[in-house]
Amino acid sequence: MDSRRDFLKKAGILSTLAVSLPTLVNANGSGESFNMCGYAAPKIDKVRVAVIGLGMRGPGAVERLSYIEGCEIVALCDKHLDRVERATKIVTSKGLKAPRAYSGEDGWKSLLKEEKLDLVYICTPWDYHTPMSIAAMKAGNHVACEVPIALTIKDCWEVVKTSEATKKHCMMLENCCYDFFEMLTLNMVRQGLFGELIHAEGAYIHDLLDLNFAKNGYDNMWRLRENIKLNGNLYPTHGLGPVAQCLNINRGDKMNHLVAMSSNDFMMGEKAKELATKDSFFQEFVGKNYRGNMNTTLIRTAKGKTIMLQHDVTSPRPYSRLHTLSGTKGFAQKYPTENIAFGHEFISEQKLKELYDKYTPELVKYIGEQAKQVGGHGGMDFMMDWRLIDCLRNGLPLDQDVYDAASWSCVVPLSFESVAKNCKTVDIPDFTKGAWKDNNPVDITLKGGGNTPIRSRTAKKENIQLGV
């Protein structure tokens, strides 16, 4: 009898271990790892930054970073030297020291080898994001990378593992998390005004058809080529990032699985044929199997919440990221107009203003108007950059960590897989390896920071704050 009791006792212990073991092991089989969520890296008084990629997004980043005190742009890199030269003028026009210049296909590798940096800011085409982010972290630098951080599940895991191993931040630059209405609703969620969130919606609906087919647009037509490779949601993070923060994804809840459906292509193939009749340059793009124009992806979380994401960059319709939140006590949506409801009807414009006055987060109240002056999608880009530098200077955890980067980006390959398998349900990896249960929500206060000044927008050398 005693031996049987001992056996059952041991079996119970083993059973418990079997249940808890997955929280200690990642998908690649490595052991327990360092949790980057809530991690505060050592303070950096002056953040030395290198910006890599100076095509579409890079010059704007250089412009914005040049206004932040305690941030020194020490190096610039692009395949094309003329782009580096133009970006250099952005810095020197403000009376600042000229950054060192790197160019060519492997210029970024020389930069990482030769420069003493704190932060590498990556604005390149998508295929470069993962290798550059990993190399930058291994070289001892924090990383801020444009979206998405990776295009495969394997690469998502590699980015996560590298960040954990090096204890270097890897923040995906999801600027829409810093838009004003998104920040307002995030704080309202935190204050319980919507009750328990049940459902959220996000999107990237943006008519980029002409830009994607423009010869002088994206280098080597790379973004158009991305629309040929695979069929799914190519760009989920603008819509997903803000609602994921509202739902505390990776910080109290996690995304469990998704299912995705795409329409056929009715736009890109026809556009290619039309252009090719006038210009032989476009003949290369005729007859390709283009991604479906509209992709709809549905996600269910561990706590039974749902998320709908949409992606359409070809249809002639107004811009929208949806940003819809539905809770047990209230509702919010950003497009076509900002509206909030606590019943059958939307509140008045005056009441919406009152909510803005009362629930705008401390971060936005502090930097919002200055951000509008500097610009970048109405100010949200600058608010993101300033917040990043302020956190690094004060040794604070970042608002977006590497697990956010991986989990938001992994929707790209998983949506491809689901569409290819006739809308099959696909599991979403837990990049936190179980830590989501105890991770704390994003802190949207300025506690411990908020002391990074901004250079004057008008003067070149005066180190004064905008609007102050």
* 456 band by pLDDT with thresholds 50, 70 and 90: confident
Average pLDDT over residues 154-176: 98
Spatial contact of 290 and 307, defined as CB atoms under 8 Å apart: no
* 229 band by pLDDT with thresholds 50, 70 and 90: confident
Average pLDDT over residues 176-187: 98
Average pLDDT over residues 259-267: 98
pLDDT digits (tens, 9 = 90+) for 313-361: 999 999 999 999 999 999 999 999 999 999 999 999 999 999 999 999 9
Is the pLDDT at 267 greater than 90? The verdict is yes
Tokens representing 320 are 């929208």
Predicted confidence at residue 1, as pLDDT, reads 41
pLDDT digits (tens, 9 = 90+) for 300-314: 999 999 999 999 999
C-alpha dist (Å) from residue 234 to 184, 205, 255: 27, 12, 18
Predicted confidence at residue 465, as pLDDT, reads 34
Spatial contact of 297 and 309, defined as CB atoms under 8 Å apart: yes
Q: Say which residues have a Cβ less than 8 Å from residue 178's Cβ, sequence separation at least 6.
A: 380, 381, 383, 384, 387
Is the pLDDT at 26 greater than 50? The verdict is no
Is the pLDDT at 32 greater than 80? The verdict is no
Distance between CA 304 and CA 369 in Å, rounded? Answer: 38
Query: Could you tell me the strand order of the sheet in which 255-262 lies?
Result: 339-341, 331-333, 324-327, 197-205, 306-312, 295-301, 255-262, 426-427
Report the percentage of the chain scoring pLDDT > 70: 91
Alpha-helical regions (H) of 48-194? 58-65, 81-92, 107-114, 129-138, 153-166, 180-190
The CB density around residue 361, as the number of other CB atoms within 10 Å, is 18
Predicted confidence at residue 370, as pLDDT, reads 93
Predicted confidence at residue 230, as pLDDT, reads 87
Q: Is 4 exposed, middle or buried (0-12, 13-18, 19+ CB in 10 A)?
A: exposed
Average pLDDT over residues 288-292: 96
Average pLDDT over residues 116-144: 98
Alpha-helical regions (H) of 21-106? 58-65, 81-92
Is the pLDDT at 11 greater than 60? The verdict is no
Tokens representing 114 are 């030769």
| Position 360, amino acid | T
Predicted confidence at residue 460, as pLDDT, reads 40
For the chain, domains (ranges, CATH) are 176-361+402-437 (3.30.360.10)
Distance between CA 441 and CA 270 in Å, rounded? Answer: 46
Average pLDDT over residues 24-38: 65
DSSP secondary structure letter of residue 41: P
**Between 195 and 22, residue with greater pLDDT:** 195
* 457 band by pLDDT with thresholds 50, 70 and 90: low
Predicted confidence at residue 444, as pLDDT, reads 87
pLDDT digits (tens, 9 = 90+) for 65-101: 999 999 999 999 999 999 999 999 999 999 999 999 9
Report the percentage of the chain scoring pLDDT > 90: 88
C-alpha dist (Å) from residue 447 to 78, 168, 184, 250, 400: 37, 22, 18, 22, 17
Mean of the per-residue pLDDT values for the chain? 91
* 33 band by pLDDT with thresholds 50, 70 and 90: confident
Is the pLDDT at 424 greater than 60? The verdict is yes
